[in-house]
Amino acid sequence: MINPNPLLRLHALGQRIWLDNLSRTLLQEGALKKLVAEDRIAGVTSNPTIFFRAISESPYYREELQKLKSDPALTAEQRYETLAVADIQAACDLLLPLHKASKGEDGYVSLEVSPALAHDAEGTLAAGLRLKAAVARDNLLIKVPATAAGLGAIEELVAHGCSVNVTLMFSLRHVRDVAQAYVRGISRLVEAGGDAGKVKSVASLFLSRVDTLIDKRLEAIGGEALALRGHSAVALAKLSYQDYRATFSEAFTALAKRGARPQAMLWASTGTKNPAYNDVLYIESLIGPQTINTVPDATLAAFREHGKAEPTLEANIDAAHQQFAALQDFGIDMDAAGQELQVEGLKQFEDSFRQLLALTA
């Protein structure tokens, strides 16, 4: 007897799986189409690191890149955007039937603004609107980091009717601030008579990096603190989901009646970095309705092969609170750690973006 694909059961439990990868190899050799058909992949995310890997490794960019480089009027960033926009458009087109069939709930592809704009709200707004116009697809999400400037840009983009994927979130404070930025933006759009039903937003909470940092601090403390290792990220996600439900329940009802969609929680950085932990830890522990899990290829394959799909997201909430309380007792400030991780994550994306532009220079 063939074991059923556990990825398919996630749909019945209200969760969608997105692929944390994009390249012309995936598009042109049919791998992404197969994942959508067989595993019900419902979206795709990209970032500077993903595009650097794609352009540097896939042969399908070489001819076009050489042509772009022969035009001295183009900057390195314009060459990169030409390549990336074409990939995003192709992925959007592949997922368009799903987008239409789900009435705009599924089938999205994310494109990130330049990390160099992370502290420039006006620059992020301009870039987001420019990229939206360039891709010209209803199932595009403009990806914006949850920095202080990013929060302002998120509100403005949503108020302009732009769908947004908020990235680089690592704390409950980030989750709360981002939710409020989205509510402000969608409220303004509704009041201005815009079509709120065409706006989708997801809030991407990064997980494995949280455990990596907090585990190091617990190991430095030693003793009883060691028992807390490997539980901080899941606790963070569970408590974030409780916040999400509180924000988008009764208080959002009036906006929902006018067509607004609640912002969805998305679990990101879900490839387990510590080999001592379950390789599908950040999928199995966080399965629940109105959520998205964006996974790298290896984690997707692992869950397909041996994952267990059961509703877990709202189980053991008391344990999540206890984890946070214990961390606080040991002097670990999760909001401060989240801010540190955001700064580190942004630097990693900036480094990848610089490497990316070196490829296209």
Digits of tens for pLDDT over the chain (361 positions)?
Answer: 456 899 999 999 999 999 999 999 999 999 999 999 999 999 999 999 999 999 999 999 999 999 999 999 999 999 999 999 999 999 999 999 999 999 999 999 999 999 999 999 999 999 999 999 999 999 999 999 999 999 999 999 999 999 999 999 999 999 999 999 999 999 999 999 999 999 999 999 999 999 999 999 999 999 999 999 999 999 999 999 999 999 898 779 999 999 999 999 999 999 999 999 999 999 999 999 999 999 999 999 999 999 999 999 999 999 999 999 999 999 999 999 999 999 999 999 999 999 999 999 9
Tokens of 112: 């990130």
Residue 184: give its domain's CATH number.
Answer: 3.20.20.70
Close Cβ partners of 219 (under 8 Å, ≥ 6 residues apart): 225, 226, 229
Q: Where are the alpha helices (DSSP H) in the chain?
A: 6-12, 24-28, 31-39, 48-57, 62-69, 76-101, 121-135, 148-159, 172-191, 208-221, 232-247, 253-257, 281-284, 297-306, 317-329, 334-360
Do residues 301 and 219 lie in contact, with contact meaning Cβ atoms separated by under 8 Å? no
Do residues 6 and 307 lie in contact, with contact meaning Cβ atoms separated by under 8 Å? yes
Tokens of 327: 């961390």
- For residue 247, being part of any structural domain is answered with yes
Domain residue limits at 110: 6-360
- For residue 1, being part of any structural domain is answered with no
Phi-psi bin for 197: left (phi > 0), alpha (psi -120 to 50), beta?
A: alpha
- For residue 224, being part of any structural domain is answered with yes
- Annotated catalytic residue, options 143, 200, 257, 347: 143
- For residue 23, being part of any structural domain is answered with yes
pLDDT score at 2? 57
pTM, rounded to two decimals: 0.95
pLDDT score at 1? 46
- For residue 72, being part of any structural domain is answered with yes
- For residue 184, being part of any structural domain is answered with yes
Q: Is 33 a catalytic residue?
A: no
Q: How many domains does the chain have?
A: 1
